[in-house]
Amino acid sequence: MAEESNREEVDVLIVGAGPVGLTLANLLGGYGVSVLLAEARSDLIDYPRGVGLDDESYRTIQAMGLIEPVRPHTNPNHIVKIVNGKGRVLTANNPTSEPFGFARKHGFIQPLVDRAFFEGLDRYEHVTVAFEHMLIGLEESDDLVTATLEVGPRDMDGTTGPLPGTSPTTRQVCAKFVVGCEGGRSFTRKWLGATFVGESPSTRWLVVDVENDPVGTPGVYLGADPKRPYVSIGLPHAVRRWEFMLHEDEPSDASEDDAFVHGLLTPHVPDPTSLQVIRRRVFTHHGRVADTFRSGRVIIAGDAAHLMPVWMGQGFNSGLRDATNLAWKIATLTRGQAGLDLLDTYDAERREHAKAMVDLSMTMGNFIKQQDKRVALVRDSVSTALGAVPQIKSYFSEMRFKPMPRYTRGVLVDPNTLAPGRAAAKITRDLIPVATAENCDSPVGVQFIQPRVSVAGHDGPILLDDALGPWWAIAAWGNDPRRHLAPELLDKARELGMRFACIVPETQRPWAEAAYEAADDFVVIGDHTGALKRWYDDRPVSLVFIRPDRFVAAAVLAQEASPAFRSLLAALSSTI
């Protein structure tokens, strides 16, 4: 990470050094994009916030190359149990599959993970972090955005002007793109004129974080107690979090009343007076989504674009999804490999899913915080009855109710017509491979799986993304995808930096390595677990175009590689 200088031109200005801004800066740094990350505060936030980390986010952390420094601050397989007022389990989330290479749910300590993200920027001389820099103005032209930053010391809230008695200065930075990741009070969102659609329920919650966990049980308990809904969470490094809903007649400053807080904790620990408290804070849930994520070269992401209620633990994770979707598109634009309209696909792909996660989180909150005892009794009875049905129990246990991202508009190729920009959810073509398939759900617009695989030069199995590399990949089952592209398209794929992968059963790997021409942009992947074969067996496709964010852009039969790639270039607005 470069020291701050007076440089006034940069590819990307990121506003806000929270987890989303830090993630975006790391990804862009890895793609070779120059970045100035401006943060109004004097340092990173050091108090606990998010506590739930999804496998999708872990995959992004893998792409950032930061698994090892982050892993010590996480607990895998974080089981969530919803219990009623008597402590009876109504339902539990305990997903056991690992489709993307990691446990589905993790507990984590956000300040320590954020710090690992921040320290990861030291790897990039072309990434600079500037603290005590508050965005106060934007002016956009055809090819640049000029940002005015107020420079000066301020308190850790970071949302107000400089501290009294100081003399702030201003700094102007010209950037090709500006991304606002500065949270719910985002200046950037207000500059866009975006409407923050949704609601902020009136209920308030008191958060209590303590060290030396006095309970010590792992996992998460969501207490659907009509007397007082609560949350109890076991976290890494012996941290315990409680959240208690405040009644309307209880003031927000009750968090400062030791007797009141001890009363809330009495049913949970033998001696609440001896707890080592990290913080006590009152907050209100918000469920809002901006009606646009972008105007011209100015974009918003994370809490600046959507505010998530805490119930599904999706605030942190949705923000990382934004950064992962956006980073490769900005990198493509800075390389001159697409037109500016590519940014329209960020809004099209991310906003709908963000809204779905907000809606689910609000629904979960309403389920848990029900205070009408009669309604709660019906809820408990119905939940218990449904939980006795194995299929329904599995539906909740494996979290199949959680809406996974499926993009239907964007950098996609329709699996039936091969038309660019859209993708049907079903494959309905009049071909025998389709007609004989048991599953015709299209993989286009969803994430590709990530099992462990065998690759020459590695002593043991590695994760698939590490074999494919950080950029585009064309992966074919049992085939060299280079042989299915027209010569001019093969050249274009190489101009775009795509990597070619031949996936074969492990028994076939020596043959494929000898049969196909070796190259730096080609890899033979041995499917020693059979997971990739099962994926291809289950779908009437044999060749996939995998985006840098690991979503499938196109999925076809091998013979259709060239027409699919032409459509993909159209969807990408390629200018090569």
Residues 180 and 304 in one domain: yes
pLDDT digits (tens, 9 = 90+) for 98-142: 999 999 999 999 999 999 999 999 999 999 999 999 999 999 998
Last residue of a domain, one of 284, 318, 348: 284
Residues 144 and 280 in one domain: no
- In this predicted structure, what is the pLDDT of residue 436? 83
Q: Is 474 helix (H, G, I), strand (E, B) or coil?
A: strand
Residues 186 and 230 in one domain: no
Range of the domain at 244: 204-284
Residues 160 and 247 in one domain: no
Residues 452 and 422 in one domain: yes
Residues 299 and 253 in one domain: no
Residues 125 and 228 in one domain: no
Report the CATH number that the domain containing residue 214 is assigned in CATH.
3.30.9.10
For residue 559, the 8-state DSSP code is: G
Closest CA to 223 of 243, 239, 241: 243
- In this predicted structure, what is the pLDDT of residue 89? 85
Residues 67 and 181 in one domain: yes
- In this predicted structure, what is the pLDDT of residue 394? 59
Residue 345 falls inside a structural domain: yes
Residue 368 falls inside a structural domain: no
Residue 384 falls inside a structural domain: no
Per residue of the chain (576 residues), what is the pLDDT tens digit? 654 444 589 999 999 999 999 999 999 999 999 999 999 999 999 887 889 999 999 999 999 999 999 999 999 998 888 888 888 888 787 888 899 999 999 999 999 999 999 999 999 999 999 999 999 999 999 899 999 999 998 765 655 566 666 668 999 999 999 999 999 899 999 999 999 887 766 678 899 999 999 999 988 888 888 898 899 999 999 999 999 989 988 998 888 999 999 999 999 999 999 999 999 998 887 788 999 999 999 999 999 999 877 666 677 999 999 999 999 999 999 999 999 999 999 999 998 888 887 777 667 666 666 666 776 565 666 566 556 566 655 544 555 555 678 899 999 999 999 999 999 999 998 888 888 888 889 999 999 999 999 999 999 999 999 999 999 999 999 999 999 999 999 999 999 999 999 999 999 999 999 999 999 999 999 999 999 999 999 999 999 999 999 999 999 999 999 999 999 999 998 544
Last residue of a domain, one of 234, 265, 284: 284
Report the CATH number that the domain containing residue 28 is assigned in CATH.
3.50.50.60
Amino acid (1-letter code) at residue 564: A
pTM of the model: 0.91
Residues 322 and 459 in one domain: no
- In this predicted structure, what is the pLDDT of residue 576? 42
Last residue of a domain, one of 254, 284, 314: 284
Distances in Å between the Cα of 8 and the Cα atoms of 118, 335, 344 are: 22, 20, 27
How far is Cα 250 from Cα 339, in angstroms, rounded to an integer? 55
Residue 92 falls inside a structural domain: no
CB 224 within 8 A of CB 368: yes
Tokens at 503, concatenated: 């996936």
Residue 168 falls inside a structural domain: yes
Q: How many CB atoms lie within 10 A of CB 438?
A: 8
Distances in Å between the Cα of 16 and the Cα atoms of 148, 152, 181, 534 are: 14, 15, 5, 42
Residue 91 falls inside a structural domain: no
Residue 249 falls inside a structural domain: yes
Residues 117 and 249 in one domain: no
Residues 429 and 502 in one domain: yes
- In this predicted structure, what is the pLDDT of residue 50? 87
Closest CA to 546 of 528, 525, 529: 525
How far is Cα 407 from Cα 329, in angstroms, rounded to an integer? 15
Amino acid (1-letter code) at residue 468: L
Q: Determine which helix (DSSP H) or strand (DSSP E) holds 510, and give its type and residue range.
A: helix 509-515
Distances in Å between the Cα of 281 and the Cα atoms of 25, 205, 284, 356 are: 30, 8, 10, 28
Residue 79 falls inside a structural domain: no
Give me the number of domains the chain comprises: 3
- In this predicted structure, what is the pLDDT of residue 5? 47
Amino acid (1-letter code) at residue 167: S
DSSP labels for 409-441? Answer: EEEEE-TTT--EEE--SB---SSHHHHT-S--B
- In this predicted structure, what is the pLDDT of residue 395? 47
Residues 30 and 128 in one domain: yes
